Amino acid sequence: MPSATRTITTPIYYVNDRPHIGHVYTTTICDVWARFMRLMGDDVFFLTGTDEHGQKVEQSAQAKGVTPQALADENSAEFRRVMGMFDLTNDEFIRTTDPRHESQVQSLVKRLMDSGDVYLGTFEGWYDAGQEEYYTETKAREVGHVSPISGQPLERATEENYYFRLSHFQDRLEALFAEQPDFVCPEARRNEVLGRLREGLQDVPISRTNFAWGIGVPDSPDHVIYVWIDALFNYITALGMGAPESDWFATRKQYWPATVQVIGKEILWFHAVIWPALLMALGLPLPKCVYAHSFWISEGQKMSKSLGNFIDLEQLTQYIDRYGRDALRYFLATQGPLGATDSDFSRSQFHETYTTDLVNTLGNCASRTSAMIGKYCEGICPTDTGACAGGGVEWATFTEDQVNQSIASMERFDLAGSIAAAMSIVRQVDAFINDTAPFKLAKDPAHTETVGNILYRCAEAVRIAACLLEAVIPEHVSQLREAWSLGDPSGELRTECQWGRLPTGSKIDKVALFPRLEAETASNA
Ligand code: MSP
């Protein structure tokens, strides 16, 4: 029986962009978390997809001479293909042009109109056409009336629009932030939101009349629903929450509220303020946590279209071809910008992480251990008689501590912390082999029992670490499972990680997990 339901979401990605490192990053870290929780035995719903409406898509389609739907179909398919390439295990890939999403958005907006949380009014303000976003007076002044994203001047725009009565939720949002300090993570991001929240909230326009590519406002044919409102609703339409009679709702309603909604820091306001206010207005529960990660930069520089230095799919494919998919996942999960600072994606850093952690630590330890079991125990898992083997490590307690830490970190969405706890087990094995020197003891038959004890403990510790790392490097752990007769994951990670479950007498084949590679230079890159 699954012990808990857990839901994780990525932002849904704009179809007017090509998939790049940013999209792959967010989706991969969510995938690591989703896989980990499934290994724990939880019932996980992992949602991603594409955001397909809005003026930009309409304009790009016009420029290409195709319909917006055709453009959306093509680019959404590309995002979906990418998910396959990286073996991402999302349970649903939602598209905002899916009629099941569109009709639910309309009925959710209708509910808001009926309750008075959405009303018709006139708006004048500073508009960032590239971002399709209005700026407050303060923010517009701050950025010198120029879009910090596109560099284009903000436009003064007036519109008759439908508004969401965001101002009504000021107190409730403040209370939310006070009562649920982990609602927005990391803390630096929470503080940013709080600062802006204290400036006071204005109602926000949620419809547009200057283009057509969007979901119509119910009973108001000239207005389309603002792409951000349409997009935010994906998190609940994918669960059928705007259509209680639907199949989606019947089979998925248990997945709301989301456990963690992962986004990049640039879309925090929508997720930390507008989104919870919309849910409050609809009387729906709020996500437990909105986690806003920072950005990857590339070789020390911000990635931008004008610099043309985006780590794109082609480059990511090169990394995969050279180092393998697991190595990319490991790098993203351990070196990525999960905290409040940006991370640099550099070839040298990638290579170093691969070599230090995967080749020299995990790979080396697994191969050393299995090679010695091959040589001194005929490839059969020895017995741990419990007699002292030297090295001074209390393996059962040490690994239990690391397992607890690894699981607790993952629950906090601290992927690097979870992985570090697993890797510390492997490092301990390395030190243990060096301290106890089984390769020396093995020369004297009097030490056969001790050698068996040492090697059992090494293999057992590596097994436990591998179980904890399975969500990050699934292909290699599967290889290890095969070579060491470990069977499939049991779906009870905590139990599986208990000391002593490696059966004596099973076959342990030698493994070579991560090949040593030359550092890339300009000539062999
Ligand atoms: N469609 C909106 C989101 C709507 S969610 C209801 C959108 N789409 S996007 O295609 O621009 O994707 C933005 C997301 O891509 C970011 O929030 C982040 O997850 C990811 N990244 C884009 N660039 C990134 C980096 N340079 N580094 C890390 N991730 C970043 O915004």
Sign of the alpha-carbon torsion through 206, 212, 218, 220: positive
The answer, yes or no, to whether residue 96 has pLDDT greater than 70, is yes
Q: Would you place residue 1 in the very low, low, confident or very high pLDDT band (cuts 50, 70, 90)? A: low
Alpha-carbon dihedral 485, 490, 429, 482, rounded to 10 degrees: 30
Q: What's the gap in Å between 421 CA and the centre of ligand 1?
A: 29
The answer, yes or no, to whether residue 522 has pLDDT greater than 70, is no
- CA gap 294, 313 in Å, rounded: 20
Q: What's the gap in Å between 69 CA and the centre of ligand 1?
A: 21
CA-to-CA separations, 286 to 90, 117, 215, 455, in angstroms, rounded: 21, 17, 24, 50
Q: What's the gap in Å between 457 CA and the centre of ligand 1?
A: 44
Write the burial class of residue 194 (CB in 10 Å: 0-12 exposed, 13-18 middle, 19+ buried): middle
Tokens representing residue 13 in the block: 């990605």
The answer, yes or no, to whether residue 389 has pLDDT greater than 60, is yes
Q: What's the gap in Å between 265 CA and the centre of ligand 1?
A: 8
Ligand 1 pocket test, pick from 52, 229, 266, 315 with the greatest ligand atom count within 8 Å of Cβ, gives 266
The answer, yes or no, to whether residue 380 has pLDDT greater than 60, is yes
Determine contact, residues 71/55, Cβ cutoff 8 Å: no
- Closest ligand 1 atom to residue 231 Cα is 6
pLDDT above 90 as % of the chain:
90
- CA gap 221, 36 in Å, rounded: 46
Q: Which residues form ligand 1's pocket by a CB distance below 6 Å?
A: 11-14, 17, 22-23, 25-26, 51, 231-232, 234, 263-264, 267, 295-296, 303
Q: Which pLDDT value is given to residue 456?
A: 98
Ligand 1 pocket test, pick from 10, 24, 26 with the greatest ligand atom count within 8 Å of Cβ, gives 26
Q: Decide which of 209 and 361 is more confident.
A: 361
Ligand 1 pocket test, pick from 12, 20, 23 with the greatest ligand atom count within 8 Å of Cβ, gives 23
The answer, yes or no, to whether residue 216 has pLDDT greater than 90, is yes
Q: Would you place residue 109 in the very low, low, confident or very high pLDDT band (cuts 50, 70, 90)? A: very high
Tokens representing residue 87 in the block: 């073996």
pLDDT above 70 as % of the chain:
98
Q: What's the gap in Å between 261 CA and the centre of ligand 1?
A: 13
Mean pLDDT of the chain: 95
Q: Which pLDDT value is given to residue 372?
A: 98
Tokens representing residue 475 in the block: 């292909």
The answer, yes or no, to whether residue 223 has pLDDT greater than 90, is yes
pLDDT tens digits for 412-461?
A: 999 999 999 999 999 999 999 999 999 999 999 999 999 999 999 999 99
Paired residues of 120 in beta bridges? 162
pLDDT tens digits for 451-471?
A: 999 999 999 999 999 999 999
- Closest ligand 1 atom to residue 265 Cα is 17
Q: For 347-520, give the CATH class.
A: mainly alpha
Q: Is the bond preceding residue 382 a cis peptide, omega within 30 degrees?
A: no
- Closest ligand 1 atom to residue 17 Cα is 10
pLDDT tens digits for 116-148?
A: 999 999 878 899 988 878 898 999 999 999 999
Average of per-residue pLDDT across 275-304: 95
Q: What's the gap in Å between 512 CA and the centre of ligand 1?
A: 37
Which among 442, 193, 501, 450 has a CA at the least distance from the CA of 340?
193
Paired residues of 153 in beta bridges? 146
Paired residues of 156 in beta bridges? 126
Kindly state the helix (H) or strand (E) to which residue 222 belongs, with its residue range.
Answer: strand 220-225
Q: Which pLDDT value is given to residue 134?
A: 85
pLDDT tens digits for 318-337?
A: 999 999 999 999 999 999 99
So where are the chain's domains? Answer: 347-520
Q: Measuring from atom 19 of ligand 1, which residue has the nearest CA?
A: 264
Q: What's the gap in Å between 90 CA and the centre of ligand 1?
A: 17
Q: Measuring from atom 18 of ligand 1, which residue has the nearest CA?
A: 264
Which among 240, 231, 372, 348 has a CA at the least distance from the CA of 298?
348
Q: Would you place residue 299 in the very low, low, confident or very high pLDDT band (cuts 50, 70, 90)? A: confident
Residue 47 is classified by DSSP as E
Determine contact, residues 389/457, Cβ cutoff 8 Å: yes
The answer, yes or no, to whether residue 151 has pLDDT greater than 70, is yes
- Closest ligand 1 atom to residue 267 Cα is 17
Q: Would you place residue 305 in the very low, low, confident or very high pLDDT band (cuts 50, 70, 90)? A: confident
Q: What's the gap in Å between 264 CA and the centre of ligand 1?
A: 6
Average of per-residue pLDDT across 16-33: 95
Q: Which pLDDT value is given to residue 210?
A: 86
Q: Which pLDDT value is given to residue 414?
A: 98
* End-to-end C-alpha distance for the chain, whole angstroms: 49
Q: What's the gap in Å between 22 CA and the centre of ligand 1?
A: 6
- Count CB-CB contacts under 10 A for residue 84: 8
Determine contact, residues 38/101, Cβ cutoff 8 Å: no
Q: Which pLDDT value is given to residue 123?
A: 75
